[in-house]
Amino acid sequence: MRVFITGASGFIGSAIVKEMIEAGYEVSGLARSEASAQQLTALGAGVHRGDLDDIGSVLKGAAASDGVIHCGFNHDFSKFKENAEADRRIIEAMGDLLAGSDRPLVVTSGTGVSATPGQIRTEDDPFRLSSDLSPRMASDEAADAAAVKGVRASVVRLPPSVHDREKLGFVSYLIEHARQKGVSAYIENGMNRWPAVHRLDAARVFRLAFEKGDKGVAYHAVGDEGIPFREIAEIIGQRLNIPVISQTKEEAAANFTWMANVVGLDFPASGKLTQEWLGWKPTHPGLLADLRQAVQFEK
């Protein structure tokens, strides 16, 4: 069975490629550069030349497959909403292509925030924020629209920190920021919670969603349900040998600049229903374990 994967050479995508190949799938990955093509070849995948900015090239890859895992996304946070809307258009186009077939379309989104601040976000939370308030939800909305057309479209939502010892998702930004500032900060009491998942555990959710996913369903690739941000800041401070401090919201706005809104979020998320629905269980180290051993501190 042939699977087409966008974002295939990325941190998460490459783990999905490996997971799918080991499960016996024939994988073709979207590659826009020679370096990406070489990486895919080394993993044992086929190479489909194209770019997310060229929807036609993406559709050619999807048309030649028995199903699609879409995890490519432009993570330039300076134009986040624009990139989220571009992702919507790609998913809508693939949904039109796959309409009337039983081919799976697995879309990537984020666990984001609950409509009720501080509430643990679940897979079946009916009070989902719209893309007007949470831009990343454009991907969910596009997947839902594809499901209405009969496509077996499902969503895998990822937390802000998909990690291993090499990379730590959004936490990697925090480490470099603390290194530059000379302090590791948290906001007020630092008890706001962040979810996380190991990249290899996340890759398995994508495979299982591809194999078993129901149309219109969102799955949560979540290992750590909610880690107090203060614990993350304390480990960063210990490893960099710098002070760990509490800041007011005003101080944090000046310190973290564009990251301040994210740093202060309390957005725990659960993956319990995903474990039940897909027979999935996270087995790899949690965020704090990987953070303590992170290669990034050795640079």
d(CA 28, CA 3) in angstroms, rounded, equals 6
Q: Which domain holds residue 203?
A: 2-161+196-225+269-278
Closest to 266 (Cα-Cα) out of 116, 118, 134: 118
Quick one: pLDDT at residue 243?
98
User: Does 214 lie in the same domain as 85?
Assistant: yes
User: Is 232 found in the same domain as 294?
Assistant: yes
DSSP for residue 182: T
Task: List, in order, residues 6 or more apart from 276 with CB less than 8 Å away.
Answer: none
pLDDT at 115: 66
Same domain, yes or no: 239 and 218: no
3-state secondary structure of 291: helix
DSSP state of 115: S
Looking at the structure, tell me whether residues 230 and 217 fall in a common domain: no
Indicate left, alpha or beta for 29 from its phi (over 0: left) and psi (-120 to 50: alpha).
beta
Backbone angles phi and psi of 286, in degrees to 5: -80, 175
C-alpha distances (whole Å) from 30 to each of 17, 54, 61, 185, 208 are 11, 11, 8, 39, 21
Residue type, 32: R
Could you identify the residue written with the tokens 């190479």?
Answer: 47
Task: Give the global pTM.
Answer: 0.95
C-alpha separations of 217 from 14, 25, 105, 147, 193 in Å: 24, 23, 11, 9, 25
pLDDT of res. 139: 94
Residue in 277, 161, 256 with CA at minimum distance from that of residue 213: 277
Considering the domain architecture, whether residues 147 and 167 belong to the same structural domain is answered as: no
Tell whether 98 and 186 lie within a shared domain.
no
What is the pLDDT at residue 79? 84
Based on the domain organization, do 176 and 132 belong to the same domain? no
- For residue 34 the two structure tokens come to 């020679």
Contact criterion met (CB below 8 Å) for 195 and 269: yes
Q: What is the pLDDT of residue 101?
A: 86
Contacts of 159 (CB under 8 A, 6+ apart): 110, 111, 169, 194, 195, 196, 197, 221, 222, 224, 269
User: Residue 275 class from Cβ within 10 Å (0-12 exposed, 13-18 middle, 19+ buried)?
Assistant: middle
- Whether 45 and 183 map to the same domain: the answer is no
Return d(Cα 186, Cα 126) in angstroms, integer.
31
Residues 44 and 80 in one domain: yes
- Looking at residue 74, what is its pLDDT? 86
- On whether both 217 and 230 belong to a single domain, the answer is no
Q: Which residues of the chain have pLDDT under 70?
A: 113-115, 127
Choose among 49, 11, 10, 57: nearest CA to 33: 49
For the chain, what is the domain count?
2
5 neighbors 13 (Cβ within 8 angstroms):
yes
- 155 with 92, same domain? yes
CA distance 245 to 33: 42
Looking at the structure, tell me whether residues 244 and 201 fall in a common domain: no
- Rounded Cα–Cα distance for residues 230 and 265 (Å): 12
